[in-house]
Amino acid sequence: MSKILFISGVSIDKTPVVKYSIKKIYKLNYDIRVIEFKNSRIKFTLLSLFKVISFRPNIVFFIGLQTLPLLLILQWLPIKKFNWFLESYTKKDNTSFAIRLLKLEKYIRWNTIIGIFPTKERIIPYNKFSFKQILILPNATGLGQIFKPRRISKHEPVKICFYGALDENKVYLREFIKFSKEFPDIHLDLYGNNMMIDVSNEDNINYKGSLPHKELLMVLNQYHFSVIGYKPINFNTKYCAPNKLYEALSLSLPVIVNKNNPTLANFPNINSFGIIADFDNLDKNLYEKLKNHEDYKKLNQNAYKQYVERQNLNNYISELKDLL
């Protein structure tokens, strides 16, 4: 029996595409072990090295920037190696420790490694590398969700959810707060961390704190729209791999996206299940689109249709199985 080791620098539970892939691979009767980065980089590195020695895997998945040192150390082992690029950065993005790890990339033998990317655009920074093979595996969710009918009536507020890292330098947080202040029958709920704007005095805007991912997905059932609020300020956000968009589709939840973000504005069939707006100039035009209850039923139905017919992980997972 082949042995597979997943070494992940991100939380598996918060990364649906990885979690679902592991679940599907389990069903193929592989012997699988998973190690996740928690708090200590030293502990994570030592534990991973110990597991490689004791478990002796045939296949290793390195997931996220935090695993680059391990990939560098273990690249010479005669095993099948996958590097999963959940995020794509350039050295100019910021000066965090994780980003500094990018310096290790030039010492890795990429021609021995299979690269996994969420979109074709995300490969651009790595065009100089000659991968053994490349697999496109979007951050979509797996099939299994049922259609969730939603409705908007003339006499109720439009409920909007904005969730994730609420850093106004990286997402259009302040813009949507200002927009909601101007239109009291827009009800905006905010979930996540790094919230620095006080909305405690606003009747129609609420900061709900941070919720476990599984609980958050259940909470999304009460909303009419989900905001996909990335600011296109660097490569990673301009060519985003929109987890929140895929999650919304699986929940039959229409979305609001920024026309100035090329990945979102050009997403397949976006007009059938989402509203495209200029996030730098949110105005009455967006308000009127949100309040149009006659169109909302179609947005709701088309979101689920997009999920079932196209944007689900089942459509892509077979290629990963073939590579194993």
Sequence-separated (6 or more) residues with CB below 8 Å from residue 290: 158, 160, 186, 224, 225, 256, 275
Measured CA to CA, the distance from residue 287 to residue 186 in angstroms comes to 8
Q: Is the dihedral of CA 303, 187, 281, 93 positive or negative?
A: negative
- Highest mean pLDDT pick, 14-23, 93-102, 231-240, 257-266: 257-266
Secondary structure, 3-state, 115-140 = EEECCCHHHHHHCCCCCCEEEECCCC
Domains of the chain: 3-137 (3.40.50.2000), 158-309 (3.40.50.2000)
Q: Which two tokens stand for residue 156?
A: 């109720």
Measured CA to CA, the distance from residue 272 to residue 267 in angstroms comes to 11
Distances (CA, A) of 262 to 179, 220, 235, 303: 23, 25, 11, 19
pLDDT at 315: 86
Measured CA to CA, the distance from residue 189 to residue 153 in angstroms comes to 19
Taking only the tens place, the pLDDT of each residue in 275-315 is 999 999 999 999 999 998 889 999 999 999 999 999 999 88
Q: Residue 277 — φ and ψ, nearest 5°?
A: -140, 160
Query: For the ranges 17-21, 44-48, 202-206, which has the lowest average pLDDT?
Result: 17-21
Query: Mean pLDDT over residues 5-21, rounded?
Result: 90
Neighbours of 46 (CB within 10 A): 11
At 227, which helix (H) or strand (E)?
strand 225-227
Sequence-separated (6 or more) residues with CB below 8 Å from residue 112: 75, 81, 132
pLDDT at 148: 97
List residues bridging with 276 in a β-sheet. 257
pLDDT at 88: 63
C-alpha 103 chain-centroid distance? 24
| Strands ordered across the beta sheet of 31-36 | 31-36, 3-8, 59-63, 80-84, 113-117, 133-136
Query: Mean pLDDT over residues 217-228, rounded?
Result: 96
List residues bridging with 191 in a β-sheet. 163
Res 6 pLDDT > 90: yes
Measured CA to CA, the distance from residue 173 to residue 190 in angstroms comes to 9
Mean model confidence pLDDT for the chain: 91
Structure-token match 């950065």, residue found: 89
At 194, which helix (H) or strand (E)?
none
Q: Percent of the chain beyond pLDDT 70?
A: 96
**Taking the model in full, what pTM does it have?**
0.85
Query: Mean pLDDT over residues 225-254, rounded?
Result: 90
Closest CA to 253 of 292, 309, 303: 303
Q: Which two tokens stand for residue 134?
A: 């490349």
Taking only the tens place, the pLDDT of each residue in 148-189 is 999 998 889 999 999 998 999 999 999 999 999 999 999 999
- Scanning 27-185, the segments in alpha helix (DSSP H) are 41-55, 68-74, 97-100, 173-182
Res 95 pLDDT > 60: no
pLDDT at 316: 86
